[in-house]
Amino acid sequence: MITLQQAMQQLPLVAILRGITPSEVLDYAHVLVDLGYRVIEVPLNSPSPYESIKLLSDKYGEQVVIGAGTVVNKQQVDEVQQAGGRIIISPHADVEVIRYSKQQGLYSVPGFYTPTEGYAAIHAGADALKLFPAETAGPAGLKAMTTILPKIDILPVGGVSPDNMRTYMDAGASGFGLGSGLYKAGMSLADFTDNATQYVEFYR
């Protein structure tokens, strides 16, 4: 079974499928897996998210790290794990959620925006950090964070496009979380494939 470290080495992009439904999730995931994506997040404010996570885990769990986003409490951590999810991604740095996720043997990638939040998340055991919202922090904010935080992978999320990825990488980004620039609810499979391909081409 692939580890988070292996997944990020292969392609350091987290595909965020906010609004995806169980009836379509496997079709969209098939595109991602074929292109080399190895981390897929289903935010919990999507329709029937645990069902989608289970479908993904059953089909792709060996080769892809599957999990949930917008996880804000321990009960949700349990439900994600029961569905087969292995990565817990949060919009904030809740040390209780981070510690509990690690106690359950899951990967934890909390959101942070300040040095205080970053240090708290790292000390609680976070595997990587999500800089959110990245568009307001910007590459300059990221660069400032990387100079003071202990070495850890930082993934900007929010406003990431193929046009600005290089600037973020130069500022210290280890990879990216791809949200509405990759997928929006109701998006056609063709448009989604185009978007997913453009992000991958940055690494080719």
What residues are annotated to the active site?
41, 130
Please check whether residue 134 is in contact with residue 159, taking contact to mean a CB–CB distance below 8 angstroms: yes
Whole-number Å distance between alpha carbons of 14 and 60: 15
Whole-number Å distance between alpha carbons of 139 and 62: 34
The dihedral formed by the CA atoms of 24, 26, 29 and 34, expressed in degrees to the nearest 10: -130
Contacts of residue 9, Cβ cutoff 8 Å, sequence gap at least 6:
none
Whole-number Å distance between alpha carbons of 146 and 143: 5
Q: Which residues pair with 109 in a beta bridge?
A: 89
